[in-house]
Structures are given as C-alpha cells and as structure tokens.
Structure 1
Amino acid sequence: MALPIPPLELLMRFGIDIIAVLLLIFGMYYRRRYDKEFATTAVMFNVATFSVLIILSSVEFGVAAGFGLFAILALFRLRSEQFDKVEISYFFASIAIALVCSVTGTMLGLVATVVVFLLLSAFILDHPRFLQAVSGVKIVLDEIDHRALTDEPAMRTDLGKRLGVEVIYYEIKAFDYVNETALINVFFRNK
C-alpha cells in the first residue's frame, strides 16, 4: 500500500498536528488544570486519530465504515470516566486538530490556518481573564428552604454563607418532600 501523500508532506502534517496538540494540551489545558491522565489521554487520542485517518485516506472508506468507527468511539465513551464540559471541549479540539491535519487534499496553508484558529479560540475562551472561573457543586439540603422558589437573592445569600463562597446562580434539581431534602446545583466563585 502506497502512502496517500508524499512523505515530506506527511511529516509536515504530523509536525503541525503534534505541535498544535502539545500547545493545546500542555501549553493551555495542563497549565491550568494539572490533570496528567487527561493530558496524556488527549494527546494519545490525537496521535492515534491522526494515524488511523492517514491510513484510511489511502483506502476506499465508505460511510458505513465511518459510522462503525463512531460507534466504537461511542462504546469507548460509555465505558470511560466522565469528563467535565471543559475537558470535553479540549478532547474534541484535540481530535479536530488530528482530523484537520490528516485530511489529504487540503493545502498545508489552510491546515495551518485552521489549526491556529482552533488554538487561538481555546486560548481566548479558556483564559481566566476573559471568562472568570465559576465552579459548580451539587448539594443536598437536609431541609427544604421555603425561600428556594420565592426569594432567589435571599436563597443565594444563604447558600453563600453556608458554603463560604459567592453564589452566582443556583438551580433546583429536585425536592423530596418525604425526606424533606432538596437537591441543588450551586454555581459559585471563591471569595
């Protein structure tokens, strides 16, 4: 089986891919979140995706095979640890970089431009000065507060005092009148 593209172009595409994913994951994600397992997973998944797509671009690859590949990825996802929303974004960006870099028939200038756009977007959108970090936690109150539905500012203040944080927003997920408990998602900033 012959390579789908000249070896020099393959090396350049892989170079763009690996530099971009290392900047994305270790230059942005890891420096802010320090999760070695996720960083390793995202980079390895990028390299594996790039490798598989380069090989698949040299053979006849039908739509059915594509759906099969996504079904395998879905099963993998169902059996793995849950990612938070930011991790999912970084993981998807790592896959997108591999996809953009491995699609044969695209000019290297376009590939580089799209990759730079992805990196700039991630840098800006996840920068702490652009969007202030808000954390979330699920809590169960052992009594249903009558203000929960009627007086949002008072409830926010009460939750803030209990948790020692500035409550930005809260969302009531469930009331259990039998056990007199309330399940609440609280979004906050540290004071």
Structure 2
Amino acid sequence: MNILLFAAVDLLAICVLTTCLYLPRHRRRDLVVSYFGINVGVFAVATALSSSTVGVGLGMGLFGVLSIIRLRSTELEQHEIAYYFSALAIGLISGMGPTPAWIPIALIALILVVMLLVDNAKVLPRYRHQEVVLDRTFTTEQQLESYLSTVLGGAKIHQYSVQLLDLVNDKTVVRARFSTPDVPVADSTAGLQGLTDASIPRTIADHEVIAQETR
C-alpha cells in the first residue's frame, strides 16, 4: 500500500515541478521529458533497492552515478541543474519510502516550495550575468568598467573577468555580473553622450546611413 501511495506522491510532485514550475518559466520541452524519465527511473530503482538487502548506500551511489552521467552528456544552465537534482531527489525519496509516511511527503513538499520561491522572477530581478564582446581594448580596468557599464545601459558592474584580449583585432570579451539600473531604458542611454563616435559600436545599418550622408 505504501508503494502505491509513494508512487502517486512521486508522480504528483514531478508533475508540479515540471509542468507547473519549470515549463511555464523556462519553456524547454526536452528537459521536461528528461526530468520525468529520470524521476520515474530513480523511483523504480530506489523502490526495488529498498525491498532488498543492499541498503541505502547503493541508492545514494546510484544518485551520484546518474548525476555524473547526465551532467556530462550536455551543458545545462545552473537553474536547470537545480531542477534536475530536484527531480532526482524526489524520485529517490519517494522510492526509498522511509517511515512514517509523512516524512518523505514533507521532504518532497519542502523541495517544491523552495523551487517555487527561489526560481521566481521577483527574486533579485535586476541581477544579470552576460558575456559581452567589445569592439576595442582598454589600457586600465577603470576604463573597461566604465565603458562596460555604459554599453549595458548604465548597469552597476558587480564583477567581471576578461575572457579574451585581442590587441591585433582590437576586441575584448568580458564575462560580467551586473544589476540593471532602476530607471527607464530611455534615460539609461544618457551616458553614451560622453563617448566619442569612434568608441560607440555601430551596426551595418548605421554605416550605410553615414555613407549616404557623406555623399
């Protein structure tokens, strides 16, 4: 009877995790299939192991092996890794089925509540991370940080690291963590007025307009 109860709890929990939390927020159908498959698979194996003499140790070993295999097969975003481990944990907790029954149910509910609250657009909504390709090089870190902030619309740069400094082609690749300004987008471009024309990246359309004006 407990197996049927935990199976129902597991299916309900993975449905909530994928179709109610992950899919509406991130829209990746392939990972929904992956989350369902890994969750049900871990639940089935954990249920079989819990009824034998191998104990919990082998179940945790299975958790680790599956994690390594899945994470090495393709590159995942950090939030996708969080959902992946949540699906694994729900399957393992449901399959092992510790007693009394309210313990696994409470643990699964805790996982769902944490993912509901943490992966929310209202949590740190202004914080971003991005890799930016700049069309120039810089002699000092102050110049780089100031120009990067201007390019990102007046964002506050919290941390950045230079991934590529190409002095031949005059290019800099920077990975930045920043927070967007709490002002309208139209106002955030005011800092570009202080830049020279040579320091502002132009698109192909901009060059065509300039060429027509000079004729």
> Is the CA contact (8 Å cut-off) linking 2:6 and 2:97 kept in structure 1?
no
Shift of 1:53: 0.8
Report whether the alignment pairs 1:50 with 2:39: no
Structure 1: gaps of 5 or more residues: 1-7
For 1:118, the equivalent position in structure 2 comes to 111
Q: 1:183 to 1:11 in 2, by over 3 A?
A: same
Q: 3-state DSSP class of the match of 2:152?
A: helix
1:137 to 130, 134, 138: 130
Aligned length: 179
What secondary structure sits across from 1:174 in the alignment?
Answer: strand
Identity across matched positions, percent: 17
Give the TM-score, by structure 1 length. Answer: 0.78
Instruction: Report if the CA contact (8 A) 2:97-2:104 is conserved.
Output: no
Of 78, 86, 97, which aligns to 1:85?
78
RMSD value, Cα? 2.8
Match of 1:160 in 2: 152
- Quote the offset at 1:184 in angstroms: 0.8
Please list the CA deviations of residues 124-163 of structure 1 after superposition, one character each: whole Å capped at 9, or x if unmatched. Answer: 111112331644332332421235x1257623432214xx
Q: Please, which of 30, 45, 49 is the counterpart of residue 23 of structure 2?
A: 30
Distance in 1 of aligned mates of 2:117 and 2:63: 32
Q: Which deviates further from its counterpart, 137-146 or 174-183?
A: 174-183
AA aligned to 1:70 is G
* Aligned residue runs from structure 1 range 163-182, under 5 A: 166=155, 168-176=157-165, 178-179=167-168, 180-182=170-172
Q: Distance in 2 between matches of 1:133 and 1:48?
A: 38
* CA distance in 2: counterparts of 1:119 and 1:64, whole angstroms: 25
User: More displaced, 24-33 or 138-147?
Assistant: 138-147
Q: Which residue of the other structure, out of 98, 119, 124, is the alignment partner of 2:91? A: 98
The higher relative CO (CA closer than 8 Å, separation ≥ 6) is in 1
Distance 1:9 1:72, change over 3 A: closer
Tell me the equivalent position of 1:186.
176
Q: Whole-Å Cα distance in 2 between the matches of residues 154 and 40 of structure 1?
A: 44
SS at 1:60's partner residue?
coil
| 1-structure distance, mates of 2:29, 2:59 | 32
* 2:17 equivalent to 1:17: no
Distance 1:130 1:65 in 2: 34
Q: Measure, in 1, the Cα distance between the counterparts of 2:62 and 2:33.
A: 25
Larger radius of gyration: 2
Unaligned runs of 5+ in 2: 186-215
The whole-number CA distance in structure 2 between the counterparts of 1:71 and 1:47 is 16
TM-score (norm 2): 0.71
Aligned partner of 1:5 in structure 2 is: none
Residue 61 of structure 1 aligns with an amino acid whose one-letter code is V
Q: What is the rounded CA distance, in whole Å, between the counterparts of 1:39 and 1:133 in structure 2?
A: 27
Conserved? CA contact 1:46–1:94, under 8 Å? yes
> Which ranges of 4 or more aligned residues in structure 1 deviate by more than 6 Å?
none
